[in-house]
Amino acid sequence: MRRLGDDPRPAGAGTALGVIEFDDVAYSYGGEALLSGVSARIAPGTFHFLTGPSGAGKTTLLKLAYLQLRPTAGRLSLFGKDVTGIERDQVARTRRRIGFVHQDCQFLDHLPIAENVALPLLVSGREASGADLGDLLSWVGLSRRAEALPPELSGGERQRAALARAVMSDPEIVIADEPTGNVDWEMSLRLLTLLVELNRMGKTILVATHDLTLIRQAKAQVSARVLRVGGGTMVPAGAEL
Amino acid sequence: MRLFRPSGVADRVVPPTGFTARLTLGASAAMAFLAVFALALSLSAGRVASTWSDALARTATVRISAPSGQVEAQAVAALAVLDTTPGVASARRLGADEQRALLEPWFGPDLPIESLPVPVLIEVVATADGFDSGGLSARLAGEAPGAVLDDHAAWRAPLVAAAGRMRLLGFGCLLLISLTVAAMVALAAQAALAANARVIATLRLVGAEDAFIARAFVRRFTLRGLAGAGAGTLAAAVVLAMLPSAGAGSTEAAWLSLSIGGAQWALLLLVPPATAAVAYGATRLAARRALTEAT
Ligand SMILES: Nc1ncnc2c1ncn2[C@@H]1O[C@H](COP(=O)(O)OP(=O)(O)OP(=O)(O)O)[C@@H](O)[C@H]1O
Ligand SMILES: [Mg+2]
């Protein structure tokens, strides 16, 4: 874990600005607004959970933060910069500072896991050192599956491979959408531990999940905050969690 | 250019799609084959046209038809006129043997040419600057009324024009062939881009810029265009070299032979890179259009 551990940024350090800032953001998939009046500031180095009923818009919010969707109203800032209307190449470069674990992890099915994990470096013109890649794969427990093709992996293995890929380019923010969606409790804890480790290295973590037990487990390890998505907006959750 | 840097892994991010590869290779090969012949047509037509306009422009014939008693006197008078005409390099009366040779194809070898009233022919070769046909005709009319100057313009002009049109036709074919290659490659590239929509989306999601994704496709289709056109050009060159060349050196026969000579073979080497360039442009355009639709 040499490369990941080298990160000098202490948790919570940086500017007073949020690394992710929603300012009165609204979004609609075409019909009536799914989200409106969403305002939130995610400070650097923090650990946030996003909860809420299925269909409330958690994935939508994460995709907005990853510039996969554009707000239909309001402003979004990333790393202190307004990104509401940036062009495609800037989107690509901004994404390199964010690691994203999607709900349905997409891989290039014709390339082995090791190459898929190294993809974020390849597309940004950087070389993946074999040692770093090996470290990362053993960190997520996939050393022995490095040469397997993505369709040959189990659901949990795919989630872990996706997490490895998300942190490959040493991003400042890691976003995970239901990372424990289809894994057993033991694996969930393991993935949570990985996310907590990343947070301790100074990365900002944003995780959408239904799993309240997982949130309680996390709160025992880090000071995680919870945002509740529902009724078309997002608010900090009460102390009941 | 980054396009031609060896980048094995970056290329592999897009899985190969069999039929688009075959379509591009096949279309490039066939079109390059045709392009070589269109090029050969242009080149030989161009050569024919310039041979006729240069060589024939420098020669003329004076024909003297007169009652038998006056022919000799008029021939001497005409030669005297020609000798003093500026722009005439030489004037020479054709001998009986030469005239017999000219008529042999029609009348056989034993024509008793001396006893026939065939006209006297004088072959005129002009200097590089040429002579004034109108002035010469007028002077000949004064000195030798039976002399007619034929500077070949009458029959040369339409042939040169025809050769020029053949040449244009060859270039037109080249243009159409280029457009066809562009359309075929663009279609194949579009099919490949559509078939790989998921791959493109995944690459975008890990932070790939459009140029990176486009390059993977453009490089592949350009190289296929180059390889296909290389094979097509080679095949066409072999066929071209094996074509029987009808009567080398004769301007009339040049029509029949699509032969190209010497340095012109080097022009054929331009066909594969030109095809590759067309494939490059077509794929870039297709990629740019497809990518603006991906998030
Ligand atoms: N591409 C789309 N087009 C139209 N509607 C969509 C699209 N994606 C999501 N939706 C709708 O938007 C709403 C919010 O979807 P979203 O995926 O953000 O929910 P979620 O909170 O992540 O749910 P879950 O917990 O089940 O993952 C849902 O009602 C969904 O049907
Ligand atoms: Mg979701």
Q: For A133-168, how does the pLDDT look when each residue is reduced to its tens digit (9 = 90+)?
A: 898 899 888 999 999 999 999 888 898 999 999 999
> What is the pLDDT, as a whole number, of residue A201?
92
Asked if residue A213 belongs to a domain, the reply is yes
Asked if residue A234 belongs to a domain, the reply is no
B199 CA to centre of ligand 1 in angstroms: 22
Q: Tell which of B17, B206, B213, B293 to mutate to test the A interface (max A CBs under 10 Å).
A: B206
How far CA B210 is from CA of A89, A90, A105, B289, in Å, comes to 7, 11, 21, 11
CB A104 near ligand 1, within 6 Å: no
B238 CA to centre of ligand 2 in angstroms: 63
Whose Cα sits closest to atom 16 in ligand 1? A57
Dihedrals phi, psi of B211, to nearest 5 degrees: -60, -35
How far CA A86 is from CA of A39, A70, A173, B131, B275, in Å, comes to 20, 10, 19, 75, 37
Region of A12 on the Ramachandran plot (φ > 0 left; ψ -120 to 50 alpha; else beta): left
Q: Does A103 touch chain B (CB under 8 A)?
A: no
Split into its structural domains, chain A has a count of 1
Domain interval for residue A155? 45-68+87-226
- Full strand arrangement of the beta sheet holding B59-64: B88-93, B120-126, B59-64, B147-150
For B276-286, how does the pLDDT look when each residue is reduced to its tens digit (9 = 90+)?
999 999 999 99
> What is the pLDDT, as a whole number, of residue B245?
62
Going A107 to A111 to A114 to A117, the CA torsion angle's sign is: negative
Domain regions of chain B by residue span: 2-53+156-293, 66-145
Asked if residue A211 belongs to a domain, the reply is yes
Nearest CA in chain A to B205: A95
> What is the pLDDT, as a whole number, of residue B255?
54
Q: What is the CATH number of the domain that holds A212?
A: 3.40.50.300
> What is the pLDDT, as a whole number, of residue B56?
66
Facing residue for A165 by CB, picked from B198, B206, B292? B206
- pTM (2 d.p.): 0.75
What interface predicted TM-score (ipTM) does this complex get? 0.85
Asked if residue A34 belongs to a domain, the reply is no
Asked if residue A40 belongs to a domain, the reply is no
Whose Cα sits closest to atom 9 in ligand 1? A60
